[in-house]
Structure 1
Amino acid sequence: MPRLVDHDQRRAELGEAAIRVILREGLAGVTVRGVAAEAGWSTGSLRHYFGNQYELQAYVVQATTDTLRRRVVPRVQRLRAQGSPIERIATIVEEMLPLDDERREEYALWSAIVEWERHHPPAGGSVTWNDQRALHRQCVAALYGYESAREPERARLPHPDEQVEFWAALLHTFVDGLAAQIVNTPGEMSADTAARLLRSLLRAVLRARQDRHAHRPEAESAARAD
């Protein structure tokens, strides 16, 4: 009796093998020959699933994106009841920083996705960029006293408060820069320094919110006088 093949399982195995290749060699190493060797397959067997390198890499990028979401999202959404608002938000944002082996591995995978998107721009914009901007937008909105968006699609939309959107963009850019320096110049950007700088920026966000509230009564009084 012929052996039944679970094609979904075999594709999943290929995705896992390709992720190992990415971590070792980057996206450029994800070739039909390279992934077949990593998975212990023949190139002919792999071509049964993917006709060329483009199809293989497109599948691998999607599989990598799904893997990262499964790993990172639960950590980001974990309830944090301890500490000040600044500390709770900082520990959420730090899930995006390569501060340990697990997060350095995730940073390498994010980088591979960004490389793919740079050469093959998605029709709806960068998935990676939009996911990360949504996270930073939610964090800033929380510091500004807004409730979190319950639907992921809503979190990806610009916030109606322009100040939230401004600080979310600044935080996103800041965290990207911190992550790059932690990976590329660890001697100059230690985990402790990164943590201190992140909290300094979050305090600036909170001060901006407090300053706006402090000036609002004056503005309202001036408007009534006019």
Structure 2
Amino acid sequence: PDQPADDQRYAAKGTLPEQGEWDIVARMHVLIEPVEEGAEPKMEIIESLPLRVRAPDALSPGQLAYAADGKNNLLTGVEIDASASSVQGGGQAAHVADQRLGTYWLCDAKDAEPSVRMKMKRPVRVGRILLSHVRPTLDSEGLPRPMDVELVLNRKRKITMTMDQDPLRKTVIDLGETVTIRELQVRILSAQGCELGKCGLGFSEIELLPR
């Protein structure tokens, strides 16, 4: 367009997929009208010199979708009995399933085998499990957080996973199929930034999603 639409300041806008330095190039496909009557128009491509920009706080599509996952959470409307190996302050076990990213479960700093358990009053058919770090904000990168975790489904099936250490990314566990879950336990096996039993660890949310 030759001018911005409505109240937009610019005719076009774009977003960068992640943080870092990027070379941006403007490329135009120009249709050139023929000089001779009856001749076919020609297409030419005009490209600008690259402009290098730095994006310190760009959010990836996955990060932008962070909060939107809640609308697909299968735990919505399901009564849950949540318990934990220990709690610290207001970080109650039930907070991992309250669908609020601002609350969280946090174990006691002396808990060397932290875990949280959810028992659903009715079973849910799950394809993916999402784990969110405590305090998912840009300024929380230096905080201790879970690294290796073990998921126990219905007290039988066990899955070990290394969590994404970016506080703005959820760790996605794809079950590979649709599984009926009545009970889920998540055990923290190791941590980033501290030793187990020497710091509080936990999760902001544990979400169960379909395939």
Q: Same fold (TM over 0.5)?
A: no
In terms of fraction of residues, the more strand-rich structure is: 2
Q: Provide TM-score, normalisation by structure 2.
A: 0.29
In terms of fraction of residues, the more helix-rich structure is: 1
Q: Which has the larger radius of gyration?
A: 2
Q: Which has the higher contact order (CA 8 A, sep 6+)?
A: 2
